[in-house]
């Protein structure tokens, strides 16, 4: 079935509009083999939960023969020190350093600060002037929030914003050697910047998240730095992409000249859930089987890779009625946009808070799209690259 190849596997769907591909492949089953990706595509909601929440799987890309050689560029320290690529006791230890500050109640306590940061960003574009929503609001807002929380100065925050897209491209590709080398170099740049900061916060802690992580004696300093960078990069990039995709969906003019935003309440939590279900930025996440599995009609052998296509699972017609329809308040299970199981996204509550605050303040400025979106070309992480908008109110 899996034919040896000298070319790197790649994600087989269109990065701009992957949904028709998902639906075509779903006709063959909830779990299907794809030769282009040299992986099993897990498309069904229940099947996705089985893989993400079950035993006999690993997040370590070195377990998969297709990715092992390319991943050497990242180095063992970065892979072993990141909760993104670890499992079991090591994953629990790395994640445990932040379990008390990513609870919903703690994040709720950040609301006033997030509102102030959002206001400073969203108030900046002048009225009646076209601006790039991604460059002027979607990217600066979450980087400002995470930079403030980590206690970063302006130069470090600027470096973080500059290097993050390269790291996200690495995470958004599938074992692409060039992207991984570039991502490894960007990661090394940030590690070099963060190491002295973390060392200083360990010796002289302040009232910030980096100090909190550095105070955990279960983590060596490299792990403190890798954890902080992961929070900063993953947190702000995914939130920025969600905000951009939300603008496209909410403000696109439909039949009759109305927009979906005309019939929604930005304070309704179900609005964010529906945006995450339909437009969640993470399209897929990889697991490698460490045991043989049977999921539905698929027999997955130990050592084979499964790509859990979260975006397809969130549109599973067996779980969500009329899954292509935008319907806040729909009854059904939670979308898998933040993952499931042990690797459920720590920053989920913060992303929801930032998006809710941003939507409320953006709507107050009477926005409109000023042209079509240009979408990024990373098939595993979807979002606009540029999005022209205009505010009609100050």
Provide the 3-class DSSP secondary structure of residue 131: strand
Q: How far is the CA of 185 from the CAs of 73, 170, 216, 234, 243, in angstroms? A: 9, 11, 27, 17, 28
What pLDDT digit, counting tens, does each position of 307-354 carry? 999 999 999 999 999 999 999 999 889 999 999 999 999 999 999 999
**Using an 8 Å Cβ cutoff, are 354 and 239 in contact?**
yes
Work out how many domains the chain is built from and give that number: 1
Q: Does the model's pTM come out above 0.75? A: yes
Classify each residue of 284-310 as buried b or exposed e, where b means 16 or more C-beta atoms within 10 Å of its C-beta: bbbbbbeeebebeebebeeebbbbbbb
In a domain, 7, yes or no: no
Residue 12 is assigned to a structural domain of this protein: no
In a domain, 6, yes or no: no
pLDDT of the residue at 40: 97
Of the candidates 232, 242, 234, 235, the one whose C-alpha atom is nearest the C-alpha of residue 134 is 242
CATH number of residue 174's parent domain: 1.10.630.10
Task: Classify residue 4: in a domain, yes or no.
Answer: no
In angstroms, how far is the first alpha carbon of the chain from the final one? 60
321 Ramachandran zone, left/alpha/beta (phi>0; psi -120 to 50): beta
For the chain, which ranges sit under pLDDT 70? Answer: 1-8, 69-70, 72-73, 173-175
Give me the pLDDT at residue 6, please. Answer: 41
Find the helix or strand (DSSP H, E) in which 384 lies: strand 384-386
Domain that holds residue 314: 19-391
Residue 258 host element (H or E): none
The DSSP H or E segment spanning 294 is strand 293-295
Answer for the pair 182, 169: CB distance below 8 angstroms, yes or no: yes
User: CA 194, CA 95: separation in Å to the nearest integer?
Assistant: 19
In a domain, 258, yes or no: yes
Alpha carbon distance 159, 188 (integer Å): 12
Structure tokens at 292: 């043989």
* Tokens 């779903």 found at: 26
Q: Is residue 5 part of a domain?
A: no
Is there a domain that residue 28 lies in? Answer: yes
Residue 75, pLDDT score: 75
Predicted local confidence at residue 98, as pLDDT: 86
Tokens of 43: 């498309």
Instruction: Tell me if 299 is assigned to some domain.
Output: yes
- Structure tokens belonging to residue 133: 């929503």
Angle at 271 between CA 265 and CA 277, to 5 degrees: 165
pLDDT of residue 77: 77
In this prediction, residue 62 carries a pLDDT of 86
């Amino acid at each position: 079935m899996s034919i040896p190849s000298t070319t790197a596997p790649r994600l087989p769907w269109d990065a701009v509009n992957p949904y028709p591909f998902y639906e075509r492949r779903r006709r063959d089953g909830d779990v299907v083999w794809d030769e282009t990706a040299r992986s099993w595509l897990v498309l069904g909601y229940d099947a996705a939960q089985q893989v993400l929440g079950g035993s006999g799987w690993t997040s370590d890309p070195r377990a998969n023969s297709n990715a092992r050689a390319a991943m050497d560029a990242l180095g063992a320290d970065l892979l072993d020190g990141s909760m993104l690529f670890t499992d079991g006791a090591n994953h629990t230890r790395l994640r445990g350093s932040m379990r008390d500050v990513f609870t919903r109640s703690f994040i709720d306590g950040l609301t006033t600060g997030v509102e102030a940061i959002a206001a400073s960003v969203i108030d900046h574009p002048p009225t009646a002037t076209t601006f790039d929503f991604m460059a002027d609001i979607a990217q600066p807002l979450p980087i400002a929030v995470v930079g403030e929380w980590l206690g970063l100065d302006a130069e470090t925050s600027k470096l973080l914003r500059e290097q993050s897209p390269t790291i996200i491209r690495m995470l958004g590709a599938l074992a692409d050697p060039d992207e991984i080398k570039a991502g490894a170099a960007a990661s090394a740049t940030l590690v070099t910047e963060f190491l002295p900061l973390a060392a200083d916060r360990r010796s002289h802690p302040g009232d910030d998240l980096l100090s909190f992580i550095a105070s955990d004696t279960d983590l060596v300093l490299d792990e403190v730095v890798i954890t902080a960078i992961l929070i900063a990069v993953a947190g702000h990039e995914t939130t920025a992409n969600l905000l951009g995709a939300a603008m496209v969906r909410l403000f696109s003019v439909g039949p009759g000249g109305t927009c979906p935003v005309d019939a929604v309440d930005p304070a309704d939590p179900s609005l964010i859930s529906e945006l995450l279900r339909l437009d969640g930025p993470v399209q897929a996440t990889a697991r490698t089987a460490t045991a043989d599995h049977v999921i539905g009609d698929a027999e997955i052998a130990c050592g084979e890779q499964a790509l859990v296509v979260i975006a397809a699972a969130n549109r599973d017609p067996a779980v969500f009625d009329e899954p292509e329809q935008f319907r806040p308040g729909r009854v059904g299970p939670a979308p898998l946009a933040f993952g499931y199981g042990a690797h459920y996204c720590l920053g989920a509550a913060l992303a929801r808070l930032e998006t809710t605050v941003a939507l409320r303040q953006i709507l107050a400025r009477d926005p409109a799209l000023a042209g079509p979106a240009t979408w990024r070309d990373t098939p595993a992480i979807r979002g606009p690259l540029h999005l022209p908008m205009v505010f009609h109110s100050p």
